[in-house]
């Protein structure tokens, strides 16, 4: 890994032009994500235990499986992950087609491409490392999407991703979020291999959330049948992302334990999310 370069960063693409702090192509494709999703998340992320712990897990994985060069966060929304990695000393580039790209600039992310991955026309084998955090489940052709990322990575380049875990936890929330699927460890590994990656590490995290999600979301969804969730006010979403004082200390202990496992590359058996580290093969 390298520290952020203080010079002017240039994208590995001939179609991107910088306007108002954003690198943009001529056209941006539509993605399977709620139109208001980034703006809601932008108001929630900074005070959210979920986003904070996911960031810590991602950074722990990157430190355990390091790389040299620039990290490209594909579909990174409002740049919450990117700012965390940037503050940790990495040079980071956000690739995001939605209005989250502008939110990321407001947040202080230095290098932002407002485009879907296919619109950016990045040169093959030009990326040092990449990530896609809670993105792949939004892509109908996940193997094709991951293959396109693998083709952009340099030989041996590392790829990190998180996805929602366990089909039994499927609920209205997945439908509203525009998910096509949830993954098991084996199905995610197989998807990565079909895309040409060499899988190095797969684990679950957010173990303590498994039972609440099952009881409060998945089982009610199964009982009442398929019905799209209606989202509440932003204040209600913020409340969902804050921990009651009565359990905050216990949850922090769970999170600390998960980080210890990740720093040692030990697998966690239960959790509502999966984290995967893979590499583009070396010829």
In a domain, 79, yes or no: yes
Q: Which residue has the higher pLDDT, 147 or 99?
A: 147
- Per-residue confidence at 2, pLDDT binned at 50, 70, 90? very low
In a domain, 205, yes or no: yes
Percentage of residues in the chain having pLDDT higher than 70: 92
In a domain, 192, yes or no: yes
CA–CA separation, 265 and 276 (whole Å): 11
- For the stretch 198-249, pLDDT in tens is 999 999 999 999 999 999 999 999 898 665 544 556 776 787 889 999 999 9
In a domain, 5, yes or no: no
Domain count of the chain?
Answer: 1
In a domain, 11, yes or no: no
Beta carbons within 10 angstroms of residue 72's beta carbon: 31
Predicted local confidence at residue 34, as pLDDT: 63
Predicted local confidence at residue 176, as pLDDT: 85
Over residues 4-17, mean pLDDT: 81
Contact 112, 23 (CB under 8 A): yes
Position 112 pLDDT exceeds 80: yes
Predicted local confidence at residue 232, as pLDDT: 54
In a domain, 9, yes or no: no
Predicted local confidence at residue 5, as pLDDT: 45
In a domain, 4, yes or no: no
CATH of the domain at 43: 3.40.50.150
Q: What is the pTM of this model?
A: 0.92
Percentage of residues in the chain having pLDDT higher than 90: 80
In a domain, 126, yes or no: yes
Query: Range of 25's domain?
Result: 17-279
- For the stretch 150-180, pLDDT in tens is 999 999 999 999 999 999 999 999 998 889 9
- For the stretch 190-200, pLDDT in tens is 999 999 999 99
Q: Which residue has the tokens 């980071």?
A: 92
């Amino acid at each position: 890994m390298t520290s952020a370069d203080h010079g002017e960063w240039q994208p590995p693409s001939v179609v991107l032009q910088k306007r108002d702090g954003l690198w943009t192509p001529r056209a941006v494709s539509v993605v399977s994500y709620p139109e208001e999703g980034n703006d809601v998340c932008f108001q929630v992320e900074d005070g959210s235990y979920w986003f904070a712990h996911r960031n810590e897990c991602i950074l722990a994985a990157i430190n355990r499986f390091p790389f040299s060069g620039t990290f490209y966060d594909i579909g990174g929304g409002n740049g919450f992950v990117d700012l965390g990695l940037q503050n940790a000393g990495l040079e980071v580039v956000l690739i995001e087609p939605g209005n989250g790209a502008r939110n990321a600039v407001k947040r202080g992310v230095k290098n932002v491409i407002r485009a879907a991955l296919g619109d950016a026309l990045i040169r093959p084998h030009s990326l040092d490392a990449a990530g896609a955090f809670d993105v792949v489940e939004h892509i109908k052709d996940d193997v094709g999407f991951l293959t396109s990322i693998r083709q952009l990575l340099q030989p041996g380049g590392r790829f990190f991703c998180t996805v929602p875990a366990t089909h039994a936890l499927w609920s209205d929330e997945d439908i509203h979020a525009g998910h096509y699927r949830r993954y098991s460890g084996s199905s995610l590994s197989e998807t990565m291999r079909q895309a040409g990656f060499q899988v190095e590490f797969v684990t679950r995290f957010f173990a303590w959330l498994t039972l609440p999600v099952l009881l409060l979301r998945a089982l009610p969804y199964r009982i009442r049948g398929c019905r799209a969730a209606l989202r509440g006010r932003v204040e209600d979403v913020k409340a969902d992302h804050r921990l009651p004082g009565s359990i905050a200390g216990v949850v922090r202990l769970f999170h600390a334990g998960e980080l210890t496992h990740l720093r040692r590359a030990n697998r966690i058996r239960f959790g509502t999310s999966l984290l995967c580290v893979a590499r583009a093969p070396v010829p």
